[in-house]
Amino acid sequence: MNVIPAIDLLEGRCVRLYQGDYTQAETFNEDPVAVAEEWVSQGATRLHLVDLDGAKTGQPTNHAAIGAIAKAVNVPIQVGGGLRSRDTVAALFDLGVERAILGTVAVENPQLVAELCGEFPGRIAVGIDARDGKVATRGWLETSEVKATDLAHQMAQLGVATIIYTDIHRDGTLQGPNKAALREVAEIVSIPIIASGGVSSITDLLGLLGLEPLGVTDVIVGRALYTGDVVLKEAIQAIGPGRIQDIPPDFGNSTFA
């Protein structure tokens, strides 16, 4: 299982939110390029970037920072936030981004998702951000009536490369991932799932290994890396492809939340 560091961008700064609340943005570094380079130096093989301004307004605004990161590191980066048209997705790819993450548009315009999957095969992901099992949109400011599991099934049918599942109530809280919800989504689709939200420790990461046989292939870690609760090198050693021993498939089942 790959560990993917998250870099959330707000007005060009590297920040973390608490449960998606923009009023609770904590700045960790004014230089996101330096942050990206640090994570790569510790062994990251992919970076997860979110344009928080774009997610909120519907128009990506952190292109300068994203482009600078893409030029500075030699690993693939995936970016989400405000991607609601073909042109905004293409503009990201022009910057050197490897994968675009669609969110709101997956709910509001699934036909566009299908078209983008056809035009950019293997490069389109969908971020499903769930609040009490329902999909949140527009920078998590609105909650739809669409069930996360229904959207996951639909997006898999349309040809997206992967689904990034985030439990909003866990995001930025260091309370552990919602493994029960991840299992529910993973069991209904055959494409890879990336877990996101709530990771607070190496123990949390080890618990996710029980979902790897179901297709949860990666995990995004944010706040825990910035607070030092998780050390990236240690996390990669614990659950990465080169780990010494696999964890049994039923590991952690008794602690599903």
Please tell me which residue in 51, 129, 171, 218 is annotated as part of the active site.
129
Our measurement of the distance from residue 57's CA atom to the centroid of its chain's CA atoms, rounded to an integer in Å, reads: 19
Q: pLDDT of 71-80, one tens digit each?
A: 999 999 999 9
Query: What is the pLDDT confidence band of residue 252, given thresholds at 50, 70 and 90?
Result: very low
User: Which distant-in-sequence residues (6+ apart) come within 8 Å of 43 by Cβ?
Assistant: 232, 233, 236, 240
Average pLDDT over residues 130-158: 85
Q: Do 225 and 7 meet the contact criterion of CB atoms below 8 Å apart?
A: no
User: Any catalytic annotation for residue 8?
Assistant: yes
User: Any catalytic annotation for residue 21?
Assistant: no
Cα angle: 5, vertex 9, 10; to 5 degrees: 150
Asked if the model's pLDDT at residue 112 lies above 60, the reply is yes
Average pLDDT over residues 98-120: 96
Q: Please state the domain extents for the chain.
A: 2-245
Average pLDDT over residues 26-46: 95
Q: What pLDDT does residue 19 have?
A: 67
The number of residues in the chain equals: 257
Rounded Cα gap, residues 129 and 209, in angstroms: 21
Q: State the average pLDDT for the chain.
A: 89
Q: Do 144 and 110 meet the contact criterion of CB atoms below 8 Å apart?
A: no
Q: What pLDDT does residue 52 have?
A: 93
Query: What is the pLDDT confidence band of residue 140, given thresholds at 50, 70 and 90?
Result: low
Q: What pLDDT does residue 176 have?
A: 84
C-beta atoms surrounding 175 within 10 Å = 16
Average pLDDT over residues 96-125: 96
Q: What pLDDT does residue 236 have?
A: 96
- The long-range contacts involving 114-123, CB below 8 angstroms and separated by at least 24 positions, are 114/158, 114/159, 115/86, 116/86, 116/89, 117/158, 117/159, 117/160, 117/161, 118/159, 119/86, 120/89, 120/93, 121/159, 122/161, 123/93, 123/98, 123/99, 123/161
CATH 1.10.8.100 fits domain 2-245: no
